[in-house]
Structure formats: structure tokens, C-alpha cells
Amino acid sequence: MAGYAVRRLLAAIPTLIFVSFVTFGLVRLAPGDPVLIVLGGKRISPELMEQLREKFGLVGDPISQYLAWVGRAVQFDFGESFKLRQEVGDLIVARLPTTVELIAMSVLLAILLGIPLGVLQARRRESAVDYAGSFVAFIGVSSPVYFTAIIGILVFAVWLGVLPAFGSGDGPVDQLRHLILPAVALALGMIALTSRMTRSAMLEVLTSDFIEAARAKGLPERTILVKHALRNALIPVLTVISLQVGFLVVGTVLVESTMGLGGLGSLITDAIQNRDYPVIQASVLLLTVLFILLNLFTDLLYAVIDPRIRYT
């Protein structure tokens, strides 16, 4: 399994090169002088502008600029943010925990709410519960994150006053309270997809022969449902969840700035807005790495859940 993981990671290298090259190309094709933008109308002498260009590695042809960037990036040196005057590495390290917490909480919500809902729907197929669940799922999948986030603030913070409107809170309990609204807004679509996927996977498994056999053996329904059916249904569900985490990462971009959470998402949106090349390049690359690792993690998890799957 270790060999498999290593091979997968090696195979990711061309992808990373591709992604970093495209990102590099796109930010540099964009019109406007980044130095002028960073300065935002601040009065600076032409000599100083030239000096900044040099400092930011904006001199020379784009290809050598890119190679210079790659050369430093492989040593984990991502340069200094144009705008924020800090090392990009430091910035990312400072911002990452918030985003990871947000995503972890959303995934947790999706698992804790989505899977039981799907199992329930599958068991009571075509009952009122099933229809209601499907309906809720459709609403969940169809809600724009930025809309639900704002409506959430309006309802739970302003009208009902039960949850904080924004920010990240002090101390674990307070932090958790602050994470509820953004995580729910973010997780809504994922909860819906997870329940849909669980439902259909469960239906498939429940009609299969070995479940019939288990029933015939007189095993209690609960054991059949959880130990046999769910276990087998989990693989497609996990696939959907892990694929969804990729979307969550993007969702955080929209939720973080709305909710005043200083995570990676808001760092990236600000960076794109300010044409902060080093931050854009490093964070897009980081997200891609996360995405790749996540996929690998899912594949390895399959083997744990289903002993029939082996990677060599």
C-alpha cells in the first residue's frame, strides 16, 4: 500500500507543474501593472517602482520568472506577499487552521446528518420520510452558499440572537459556536449529496443477494443495516464526500469573507483582487496538493473499509 501511495504521489508531480504553470500564466496575462496595483495610488518614484519590480521577481522574461519561482517553491520559499509585506509561507500557515476547521466541521456535519438521513430514506423507501428527505436534499443542493450564509446571519444572529454573526471567537467552546453558522451554510449542499448517495447506495446493497442471505439467517435488522449494508454502501458515499471536499474548499472562499473568518479562502480572494502573485500562486498550489492528497486518502480508506480492495 505504501508503494502505491508513493507512486500516486509521484504521478501528481506533472499535475502540480501544470497547475502552477497555468496559474502563473493567468495571473501574468492579466492586464495592469501589479506594482502599480500594490501601491494603490500611493506616490512612489519611478526608481522605487523598478526596485520593487526587482524585489518581486517581475523582471526578465516570463519563462525565467516562472523557473525562478519553481526553483524557490521546491524549497518551500514562496516569496513575500506584495500587499501584506509578509512571507507567503507564514501567511498560509497562519490562515490554514481556520479553513481546515471549517471544512472538518462541514464534513463532520455531512457524515453525522447526511448518512443517517440516507439510511433512513433507504429503509423507508417511498414513505413520507423518504420524500421529505429528498425534498430537503434538493433544497440543500440547490442553495447558493453565499445566500444561505447571509440568510443564516439574518435569522440566527440578528432576529433570533442565538448565534454570533461573524468572527472566530476565543476559547474552544466559543470557537465552536462561531463555526456553526458558516459550517452549516457550507455543509448544506454536502449533507444533501451525502444523503442522496447513501440512499441510493443502500438501496443497491439492500437488494443484493448477501443481504437476503443475512436476512434468511435471521440476523437482526439493525445488524444487517449497519454491519452489512452500510459498510458496503460506504465506498460510493465516501467518494462523493471526498470529491465534495474539493467544492467545499471553493465554498470557503465565499463563506469566509461573509462571516469574517480569516482563512485561506479570504486570503485567496483578497490576493486575486490585489493581484498578489506570490499569494495566488502558492495558495492555488496548496489547494491542489490538498485535493490530490484527499483523493489518495479516500482511495486508501477504501482498502480499510473493504478488505477485498488491495493496492499493490
Tell me which residue of 246, 298, 283 sits closest to 96, measured CA to CA. 283
6 binds other proteins (CB under 8 A): no
Among 70, 100, 136, 150, contact with other proteins (rule: CB under 8 A)? 150
* Complex with other proteins: residue 219 or 293, whichever CB lies closer: 293
Strand residue runs (E) in the chain: none
Other CB atoms within a 10 A radius of the CB of residue 199 amount to 26
Distance (Å, whole) CA 234 – CA 202: 9
Tell me the three state secondary structure of residue 12: helix
CA dist 97 and 105 (Å) reads: 12
| Residues numbered 236-295 forming contacts with other proteins, rule: CB under 8 A | 246-247, 249-250, 253-254, 257-263, 266-270, 272-275, 280, 284, 287-288, 291-292
Query: Could you say which of 146, 219, 298, 302 contacts other proteins (CB under 8 A)?
Result: 146
Is residue 245 helix, strand or coil? helix
Measured from the CB atom, the residue of 40 and 307 that comes closer to other proteins is 40
- Which positions from 94 to 133 touch other proteins by CB under 8 A, shown as an x/- string? xx--x--------------------------x--------
Establish if 10 lies at the interface with other proteins (CB under 8 A): no
Q: Are 229 and 202 in contact (CB under 8 A)?
A: yes
Query: In angstroms, rounded to a whole number, what is the distance separating the alpha carbons of residues 49 and 55?
Result: 10
Cα maximum dimension of the chain: 85
Q: How far is the CB of 246 from other proteins (least distance, A)?
A: 7
297 lines the binding site for other proteins (CB under 8 A): no
Q: Which is nearer to other proteins, 44 or 100 (CB)?
A: 44
Rounded to a whole number of angstroms, the minimum distance from the CB of residue 218 to other proteins is: 26
Tell me which DSSP letter residue 286 carries: H
- In the bound state with other proteins, the residue whose beta carbon lies nearer, of 19 and 225, is 19
Q: Contact 226/211 with Cβ under 8 angstroms?
A: no
Work out whether the CA dihedral 89, 66, 56, 265 comes out positive or negative. Answer: negative
Helix (H) or strand (E) holding 98: helix 88-109
173-232 residues in contact with other proteins (CB under 8 A) are 203-204
- Of the residues 63, 67, 112, 139, which one makes contact with other proteins according to CB under 8 A: 139
Cell numbers given for 281: 500562486
- Residue 223: CB minimum distance to other proteins, A: 24
Using CB under 8 A, which of 120, 157, 180, 211 touches other proteins? 157
Our finding on whether 29 is near other proteins (CB under 8 A) is yes
Q: Given candidates 2, 43, 75, 173, which one binds other proteins under the rule CB under 8 A?
A: 43
Using the rule CB under 8 A, give the single segment among 36-44, 58-66, 100-108, 213-221 that binds other proteins: 36-44
